[in-house]
Chains A and B, each alone.
Chain A
Amino acid sequence: MLNALLEIRNLHASIAGKEILKGIDLTIRAGEVHAIMGPNGAGKSTLSAVLTGNPQYEVTEGSVLLKGKDLLAMPAEQRAREGVFLSFQYPVEIPGVSMVNFMRTAVNEKRKYTGQEPLSATAFLKLMREKRALLDMADKLNNRSVNEGFSGGEKKKNEILQMAMLEPCLSILDETDSGLDIDALRVVAEGVNKLKTPANASIVITHYQRLLDYIVPDFVHVLADGRIVKTGDKNLALELEKNGYAEFE
């Protein structure tokens, strides 16, 4: 288990008393991309919610270590500062808080946690421009309120921009392909690929194989009824595309 970035052991979780995750085991090493696929209601989004500390879910059993640290003992903001990033399936609109103010606060909170000096306004804007250029995204959204009035595609691109700004060690992309046309999908996927390094890893949660044409996974896991029931390489995704999830339901 050398170099394990994330170790999930026998993870059980429930919402409002109903058990959704029924014993997940998963090890992720730096440099890897793991796809998690499965039918609706299998627990894919619950897994991302539990890893990021969403207070609506209760962990009833099991453990999660991030670089050897007890992730489940940390409040959500500390998990984020340790480098866990979630690209939300439904990014939240925050009227009255500008993107620039929001992101600068986020980046500086992380810097404070890791013992770095906060970025000045000028240095921050320069960084944001660089990341936008890297991802080929226009900067027209900077002064708008967070996600307010953004189209579906703009919201998902904006999630990837935030990922670029925060440089996480573990990115969880929750149904990032949902609601995207093919051009937006390509921009988002290329962004994710550009941000890949040997030191970080990604979990790509998706219902469809389509996204995996662009973000090629090292492992594909099938999640059904709260457990990982099958693991394979990228060919497993193609099989699922052909045969559906019927055999797992």
Chain B
Amino acid sequence: MDTLSLNKGEQRNLVLIDKPELDLHVLQEAGSLLRLFVFDFHSAKNILHIDHKAANCVTEIYHLAFLHGADSVFTHTRMHHEKGEGISRQMVKFVLDDAAKGEFFGELVIKPDAQHVDAQQTNRNLLLSKTATMRTRPQLEIYADDVKASHGATTGQLDDSALFYMQQRCIAPEEGRKMLLRAFIMDIVEKVPEEGLSTFGSRLSPKDLMVTIDSIIEQR
């Protein structure tokens, strides 16, 4: 397990790309901000445990798993609001082709002392083949009474009506599928800041990230 502590008021952008085993525990002190990006293009197991140890912390988690073949990714987020006035945002997306498997377990805990927390968890999944499978399990445990907490999970396929609309505008289905895939993924990739990143041993820079994603899309 890797432990990371964010001091009072510290801001940290962390990008982790294609790490097969990730077990990360982040302790956030008052007023600190963590932006965590986790990208997986091959099999991986991720445990992301974030504790707001003090008030006014902000956490944003962006996670994309884009898999094919028989690869699988299991991701468990443990977002623990111990103290109040905190904000957390989780955007988790899986794109699964062939016989790929995805599993997301989203644990969100708001402790009794954590009043006025604002927490959101969103999980969107796209299945590109009939043999890909996704399991998703949001779990909210809320012990404080004056908080905002929401979650939503959807799993679907590429939109046939959008593909036909594009065909009617001269765009062949192969190209249309690539455009829809890119659109699905881009809102996460676009959030990766260009500077001030800790890559925690990742070999890819965010610039290489888009190249990698494009080459995977080209092969779909």
Q: 8 tightest A-B contacts by CB?
A: A96-B183, A76-B167, A92-B165, A106-B169, A109-B170, A77-B167, A80-B170, A110-B170
What are 18 A-B pairs with beta-carbon distances under 8 A?
A54-B164, A75-B167, A76-B164, A76-B167, A92-B159, A94-B159, A94-B162, A94-B165, A94-B183, A96-B180, A97-B179, A102-B166, A102-B169, A106-B169, A106-B171, A107-B170, A113-B170, A162-B169
CB nearest to A86 among chain B residues: B168
Flag if B162 contacts A77 (CB, 8 Å). Answer: no
Which chain A positions have C-beta within 8 A of B184?
96
Indicate if A176 sits at the interface (CB-CB under 8 A). no
Give the docked Cα–Cα distance between A53 and B169 (Å): 12
Q: Which residues of B contact A166 (CB under 8 A)?
A: 169-170
Q: Do the beta carbons of B170 and A97 come within 8 Å of each other?
A: no
Partner of B175, one of A76, A80, A94, A105: A105
- List residues of B whose CB falls within 8 A of some A CB: 159, 161-162, 164-173, 175, 179-180, 182-184, 186-187
B172 surroundings in chain A (CB, below 8 A): 75, 77, 109
Given the complex of chains A and B, what is the CA–CA distance between A113 and B170 in angstroms?
9
User: Which range holds the interface residue count of chain A?
Assistant: 20 to 34
**Complex-state Cα separation, A52 to B180, whole angstroms:** 21
- Judge if A68 is at the interface, Cβ distance under 8 Å: no
List A residues at the B interface (Cβ < 8 Å).
52-55, 75-77, 80-81, 85-86, 88, 91-97, 101-103, 105-107, 109-110, 113, 145, 162, 166
How far does the alpha carbon of A101 sit from the alpha carbon of B175 in the complex, in Å? Answer: 13
CA distance A162 to B180 in the complex (A): 19
Q: Chain B's nearest CB lies how many Å from the CB of A88?
A: 7
